[in-house]
Amino acid sequence: MAKVSQAHLDARRRSILDAAAKVFAEKGVAAATMAEIAHEAGISPGAIYRYFPSKEDLARGCMEGSAEAVKAAWQHPEQVETDFRTLSRATFAELERSGADADTRLLLERALVAVRDADAALVEEFGAELQRIVRGVAFLLRRDFGARLEGLDVEALAQALYSFYWGARFVRLMAPDAVAPTRQLEALQALMEAAFSVADRESAGTER
């Protein structure tokens, strides 16, 4: 079986990650066994170790790739041809796709592990990403709503929206039958529009 193509190796690596993600999401990282992951991936337990040096590394590997276009868009909103409403909707639509819940499980697990082990790197990364995204949210809010945000703590609002996103993910995971994330988002956006139209009116009044 020598001299297998790189593509084949990559595919196998991928299949191990997929199998692991599935099993981890199902049972949690701690309860999942390498044997089960191997079985799921259709290989022998030993083979995994040619691709990942340890269970922990495998878990880390699973946690990484869930990066997405959406995430990037929030972090660099100036480079993207979009607006707050659209991007928000795309972000929440993502949560409705199949597999989103499994990702959420994995991400929560990852988060817990990071906090527990005081895994500085992971925690830091989370914090850094948070900051970038919150900054992106604030940027879009200001660009899209401008002066109408007058008197509002935009930073805090952006952070609140970020929190809301995670909460929606979590709640959806726990209670799929509750109000859907997208509908929650609609409600919030309606609220925001109502609030901003006040500003419009007021400034209109001022102009008069």
Which residues of the shown chain bind DNA in the complex (CB under 7 A)?
A: 1-4, 9, 12, 31-35, 43-47, 49-50, 53-56
Give 69 or 187: the residue with its C-beta nearer to a second copy: 187
Of 8, 10, 11, 26, the residue at the interface with a second copy (CB under 8 A) is 26
Helix then strand then coil, % of the chain, to nearest 5: 80, 0, 20
Question: Nearer to a second copy by C-beta: 13 or 27?
Answer: 27
Residue 180: how many other CB atoms lie within 10 Å: 15
What's the token pair of residue 66?
Answer: 């869930």
Using the contact rule CB under 8 A, the part of the chain among 48-56, 63-71, 77-85, 181-189 near a second copy is 181-189
Please count the CA atoms within 13 angstroms of the CA of 21 that sit on its side-chain side. 19
Per CB under 8 A, 100 contacts a second copy: no
Total number of residues binding a second copy (CB under 8 A)?
66
Choose the one of a second copy, DNA, none that binds residue 84, judging by a C-beta under 5 to 8 angstroms depending on kind: none
The two three-digit tokens of residue 19, written as one number: 């199998």
Q: How far is the CB of 16 from a second copy (least distance, A)?
A: 19
Any residues with CB less than 8 A from the CB of 29 and at least 6 apart, and which? 55, 59, 109, 113
Question: Coil, strand, or helix at residue 149?
Answer: helix
Rule CB under 8 A: is residue 168 a binding residue for a second copy? yes
| Residue keyed to tokens 């340890």 | 54
**Ramachandran area for residue 3 (φ above 0: left; ψ -120 to 50: alpha; else beta):** left
Q: Say which entry of a second copy, DNA, none residue 155 contacts (CB below 5 to 8 A, set by partner kind).
A: a second copy
* Cβ 148 vs Cβ 84: under 8 Å: no
Rule CB under 8 A: which residues touch a second copy? 2, 26-31, 44, 46, 105, 108-109, 111-116, 123, 126-127, 130-131, 134, 151-157, 159-160, 162-171, 173-175, 177-179, 181, 183-188, 190-192, 194-199, 201
